[in-house]
């Protein structure tokens, strides 16, 4: 990665504005954090900044409040959880901009942490309004992006602020970019991409970009229905992206031409109705009935996928194999997670719901990387540039010397 990081510059004692992604899942009834993985992922950066006696100003969003204050999406609980993790107080600001917040920052001592309120309570954040970015920038001397998951957004706290402060990468962002970059540029072979989830459309760029790199593409989840229909199978009531049938067929043909195996399910779990007590049936893919819907991969497919993955040195996984939330439709996803966790090679989980599943199964620490960003990782692996990364200073930038880069 050719971007400046917090280790490259002299930040001792400075006010460091850190964009993190603490958009953690909450229990709908109690509001309690159900998975603090995204908070813990930022710890290497925070610990380094604390060692440097910086004043840490944390900025994050929570949910989609659409520019309005939503009480259930305040970051008070996040600040409390972070204080428990780092074993020191984390003060909570009443807003993310304005005179009162600036005074809070002015009162900070070296080694202290201040959590700003949900930046998306202001519509100017997602609109990328310059004056709002300037207001955020007034709080810091240095800007650090450690929020890979939202680096594909052109928001004020991600891109706009870099016009007013020297901008560098945090350790989490650096790790994400380095690991994802390696599996695209120089992966160890055999290399398999396991893709699932609902839509083919979300992963077209990813698949097209990695087809020349992978040895295997394994397809499960709801998107398997589109590929199966492209192969002229009856897929019953399964949701199909009819506008992507030709795309699916083209991807399979290109994989074949590139010498990669495109492996579709051999059998699937189907049901007539998706509900918690629904009856699940296993059928070969050539025996799906018009009134049935695919909800998971079947046991023969699990065996085939498992055998393939166990022979690989690099595995990238994005998207569940079925409706994981319903136990009788979750076996395929569970088995894939456990299989990948047991591998000795490079294993990368592509964020989003897949990361949450791995965390729920207590397997996150057995993976090489559990990406914090679903959309961002897909965009990056799809060959697209991330605005939040592009906005950071290059290591060979003329500004680098002024920032006292450590050679």
Catalytic positions: 38, 199, 352, 375
CB atoms within 10 A of CB 77: 17
Tokens of 177: 């970019």
As separate numbers, helices (DSSP H) first and strands (DSSP E) second, the chain gives 16, 15
- Which helix (H) or strand (E) segment is 120 a member of? none
What are the DSSP calls for 229-288, one per residue? HHTT---TT----GGGHHHHHHHHHHHHHTT-EEE--SEEEEESS-STT---EEEEGGG-
Helix, strand or coil, per DSSP, at residue 4: coil
User: Which residue is associated with the tokens 């993790």?
Assistant: 85
- Which helix (H) or strand (E) segment is 22 a member of? none
Q: Is residue 370 packed enough to be buried (19+ CB in 10 Å), middle (13-18) or exposed (0-12)?
A: buried
- Name beta bridge partners: 169: 5, 145
For the chain, the distance separating the N- and C-terminal CA atoms, rounded to the nearest angstrom, is: 16
């Amino acid at each position: 990665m050719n971007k400046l990081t917090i280790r490259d510059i002299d930040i001792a004692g400075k006010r460091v504005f850190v964009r993190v992604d603490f958009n953690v899942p909450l229990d709908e009834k109690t509001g309690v954090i159900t998975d603090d993985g995204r908070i813990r992922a930022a710890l290497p950066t925070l610990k380094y900044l604390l060692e440097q006696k910086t004043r840490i100003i944390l900025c994050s969003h929570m949910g989609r409040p659409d520019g309005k204050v939503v009480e259930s999406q305040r970051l008070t609980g996040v600040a409390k959880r972070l204080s428990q993790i780092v074993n020191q107080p984390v003060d909570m600001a009443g807003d993310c901009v304005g005179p009162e917040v600036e005074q809070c920052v002015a009162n900070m001592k070296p080694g202290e942490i201040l959590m700003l309120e949900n930046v998306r309570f202001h519509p100017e954040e997602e609109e990328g309004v310059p004056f709002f970015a300037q207001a955020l920038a007034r709080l810091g001397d240095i800007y650090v992006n450690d929020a890979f998951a939202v680096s594909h957004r052109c928001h004020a706290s991600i891109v706009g602020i870099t016009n007013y402060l020297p901008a560098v990468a945090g350790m989490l962002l650096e790790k994400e970019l380095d690991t994802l970059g390696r599996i695209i540029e120089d992966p160890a072979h055999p290399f398999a991409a396991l893709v699932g989830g609902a839509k083919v459309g979300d992963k077209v760029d990813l698949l097209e970009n990695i087809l020349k790199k992978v040895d295997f593409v394994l397809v499960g989840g709801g998107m398997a229905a589109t590929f199966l229909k492209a192969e002229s199978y009856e897929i019953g009531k399964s949701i199909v992206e009819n506008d992507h049938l030709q795309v699916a067929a083209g991807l399979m043909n290109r994989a074949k031409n590139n010498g990669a195996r495109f492996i579709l399910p051999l059998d699937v779990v189907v049901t007539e109705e998706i509900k918690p007590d629904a009856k699940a049936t296993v059928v070969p893919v050539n025996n799906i009935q018009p009134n049935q819907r695919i909800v998971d991969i079947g046991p023969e497919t699990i065996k085939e996928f498992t055998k393939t993955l166990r022979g690989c040195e690099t595995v990238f996984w994005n998207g569940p194999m079925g409706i994981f939330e319903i136990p009788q439709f979750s076996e395929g996803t569970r088995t894939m997670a456990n299989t990948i966790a047991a591998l000795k090679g490079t294993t990368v989980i592509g964020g989003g719901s897949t990361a949450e599943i791995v965390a729920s199964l207590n397997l996150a620490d057995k993976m090489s990387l559990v990406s914090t960003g679903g959309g961002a990782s897909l965009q990056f692996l799809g060959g697209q540039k991330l605005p939040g990364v592009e906005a950071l200073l290059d290591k060979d930038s003329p500004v680098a010397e002024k920032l006292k880069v450590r050679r």
